[in-house]
Structure 1
Amino acid sequence: MKRLDPFLMCLIGAVLLASFLPCPVVWQPWLSRLTSLLIMLMFFFQGAKLKRRALLDSVKNWRLQGCTLLITFAVFPLLGAGMYWLAYRLSSSGFLGPDLWAGMLFLCCLPSTIQSSIALTSMARGNVPAAICAATVSNILGILITPLLCGLFFDHGSSGGSGLQTILNVAEELLLPFILGQCVQRWLGPVVHRHKFLISCSDRGSIIVLVYSAFSAAVLQGLWHRIPLILLAGVGVADALLLALALGLTYLLGRMMGQSIEDDITLQFCGSKKALTSGVTMASVIFPGSAGIIVLPLMIFHQLQLFVCTVIARHYAQRPQQPHET
């Protein structure tokens, strides 16, 4: 059995700390400024780290890349909308309530995760260069597409302003630093690659601070009085159903396309995942007053996707080696 992700355990620790020792109201504005700065630094270093040549080389497989984006930004939102519609048809409360359903729909709007998609594709002996391209392009496009999708799902008041204002806020805090990082990549890129471990620690530390900030605000607003354990269990069931549907659809689509098993693996792992890091950062921008409850379904989905996809990757890895893999 796969052990729990240490990063996720740190996030759970941040949630527990915020639950018992939330940031006082008087310090909230300073913590908000700090989180905004950390978000901008994170995407600046992401821009400085990304190699444009590797990205361009893998875009050539347009069918695989297009299908991955289709699953991520079209099929997932449709699945979320369908589950939402069905839940409210069966119960007036939708079983989970409006706040957690907002988190479920936000989860469906997110880009694919990068690190675990690539790692699991490699473990399963899939098309790793295509996975790098698919996950990277998904995250870049997600900076713009995710706010647009959120504008379709949520009313203006729940997303912190108009759809255009939301896009401008995301562009200012995420896209602009990323572009600046790309502009200085020639000089800063080698430095970032020499210190990958420190940059990774910085990124993850930033996310932990963001989670603490989001949950501190939510706890002060009575988060745990609004969400009993039975609702958290319901979120787990909904996440598991969503993941099962995504894995099944990506598998069937790969078979229908008649592509290689390596490309099937890439489509399945890149198309079925959602990014925890991007999700937490985007939630803090798109839902400034309620990010804590919004990211709960995402945190549960993250651990589910790691466990289930690791089991699937190990199954793929046991297949006989093909001549072109030698």
Structure 2
Amino acid sequence: MSVLKHLKRVFTDWFLCGMLLATLLAYVFPRFGSTGGAMHAEWVINIGVFLVFFLHGVNLSSEQISHGLKNMRLHLMVQGFTFIVFPLLWLLADTLLGTRIAPLLMLGFFYLCALPSTISSSVALTGSAGGNVPAAILNASLSSVLGIFLTPLLVSFVVGSGSGGIDLGATLLDLCAMLLLPLVLGQLVRPLLGRFFARHKRYTNIVDKVVILLLVYAAFCNSMVSGMWQQQGAAVILGAFIGSALLLAAILWMTTRTARALKFSTADEIAAVFCASKKSLAAGAPMAALIFGANPGLGLILLPIMIYHPLQLIVCSVMAENYATRTRQEAQHLVRAAAPAPL
């Protein structure tokens, strides 16, 4: 029953429904949102991405981050899984199955594996499960900043740099200008505007999601105009779903086992599992537009993260409830253990 409840919540989420609508609109009106189309997607999206990361900077609390600096083993585990273990899992899968999977879809899986962790859902789920929230805030935020540099670097190892690949230097400059600069500006104005934006955080979250939907729409418009989707069958979507589900299952098992092998407390285990298993669509969509440009295959490249995103929400929401029950039982046990013995 709990799983059905979470499934209902996810599928009635306006943002996830919006992703489905964006792909449908791209099928019906592909020219409007394609590069050079009437929407002028390249300009709209650039402005939107800059605004989104500025708002992230304003809402990022340096005080909360400083509270999470204590457990270095936890931080190393989270960042190691995010930027090392995920790509290594892709390398193993590519070695075993690479010749049987469409090259652009395989690149999409690698892009998923190279992305940073999420901030909002990682912190929210860690909090609801009774985990170490300051550590989650620190690791998710650190992952987002590291991803600006590490994600394009990792992608360049697969697609190459320079002619025929990505221009790594130009891409890093673009990412710094579009992602890091607004993040820094947001932090600088936080003392002046932080309280105002905190009161209206609901609306800033809406802006974030609307920009992602525009990115998804534009990516699929370019793919439709190029004829790429017409060349792909339903097997590609099924393969993306199965691959995303297997990847999530593997990484959740590995992060849980690693946290317990390192003898983390339950609170630290929760933060480690939720931060190290997440991948950010919020960062992935705008970064893909900057890394891959108007590549007609961008829709297929984004497909794995678009599937992985709702899957991680469903599965980790169920896990959060189980963890919350466990932390309550542990707290009750400690209270009983600390109670004075009856005379």
**Under a length normalisation based on structure 1, what TM-score does the superposition of the two structures give?**
0.93
For structure 1, the 5+ residue unaligned runs are 89-93
User: Comparing 201-210 with 23-32, which one deviates more in the overlay?
Assistant: 23-32
Q: Secondary structure at the match of 1:27?
A: coil
Q: Partners of 1:317 and 1:236 in 2: how far apart?
A: 29
Per the alignment, residue 23 of structure 2 pairs with 15
Residues 118, 128 of structure 1: 8 Å contact kept: yes
Q: Report the alpha carbon displacement of residue 123 of structure 1 after superposing the two structures with TM.
A: 2.4
Q: Report the alpha carbon displacement of residue 157 of structure 1 after superposing the two structures with TM.
A: 6.2
Asked if 1:301 is matched to 2:308, the reply is: yes
Residues 42, 203 of structure 1: 8 Å contact kept: yes
Q: Report the alpha carbon displacement of residue 146 of structure 1 after superposing the two structures with TM.
A: 0.9
CA gap of 1:63–1:155, structure 2 versus 1, over 3 A, is same
Asked if 1:57 is matched to 2:67, the reply is: yes
User: Comparing 2-11 with 61-70, which one deviates more in the overlay?
Assistant: 2-11
Alignment of 1:169-208 (within 5 A): 169-208=174-213
Q: Partners of 2:196 and 2:213 in 1: how far apart?
A: 24
Residues 156, 163 of structure 1: 8 Å contact kept: yes
Q: Secondary structure at the match of 2:37?
A: helix
Asked if 1:292 is matched to 2:299, the reply is: yes
Where does structure 1 differ by over 3 angstroms across 4 or more consecutive aligned residues?
23-26, 157-161, 323-326
Per the alignment, residue 35 of structure 1 pairs with 45
Q: Secondary structure at the match of 2:161?
A: coil
Q: Deviations over 1:1-54 (max 9, x none)?
A: 112243111111111111111234642682211111110111111111111121
Asked if 1:104 is matched to 2:100, the reply is: no
Question: Percent identity between the aligned chains?
Answer: 39
Per the alignment, residue 277 of structure 1 pairs with 282
Q: Deviations over 1:121-180 (max 9, x none)?
A: 122221122112111111121111111111112123698632222111111111111111
Alignment of 1:153-172 (within 5 A): 153-156=158-161, 161-172=166-177
Asked if 1:316 is matched to 2:326, the reply is: no
Asked if 1:81 is matched to 2:88, the reply is: no
Residues 160, 288 of structure 1: 8 Å contact kept: no
Q: Deviations over 1:38-89 (max 9, x none)?
A: 101111111111111211221222111111011101101111111111103x
Q: Report the alpha carbon displacement of residue 325 of structure 1 after superposing the two structures with TM.
A: 8.0
Alignment of 1:245-256 (within 5 A): 245-256=250-261
> Who wins on radius of gyration, i.e. which is larger?
2
Asked if 1:68 is matched to 2:78, the reply is: yes
Q: Deviations over 1:199-228 (max 9, x none)?
A: 111111111111111111111111321221
Q: Partners of 1:8 and 1:217 in 2: how far apart?
A: 21
What number of residue pairs does the alignment pair up?
321
Q: Report the alpha carbon displacement of residue 268 of structure 1 after superposing the two structures with TM.
A: 0.8
Q: Partners of 2:262 and 2:235 in 1: how far apart?
A: 41
Per the alignment, residue 91 of structure 1 pairs with none
Q: Deviations over 1:78-127 (max 9, x none)?
A: 11111111103xxxxx3321010110000000011112112221222211
Alignment of 1:141-160 (within 5 A): 141-156=146-161
Task: Output the aligned Cα RMSD.
Answer: 1.9
Q: Secondary structure at the match of 1:59?
A: coil
Q: Partners of 1:55 and 1:19 in 2: how far apart?
A: 43
Q: Secondary structure at the match of 1:322?
A: helix
**Under a length normalisation based on structure 2, what TM-score does the superposition of the two structures give?**
0.89
Q: Secondary structure at the match of 1:311?
A: helix
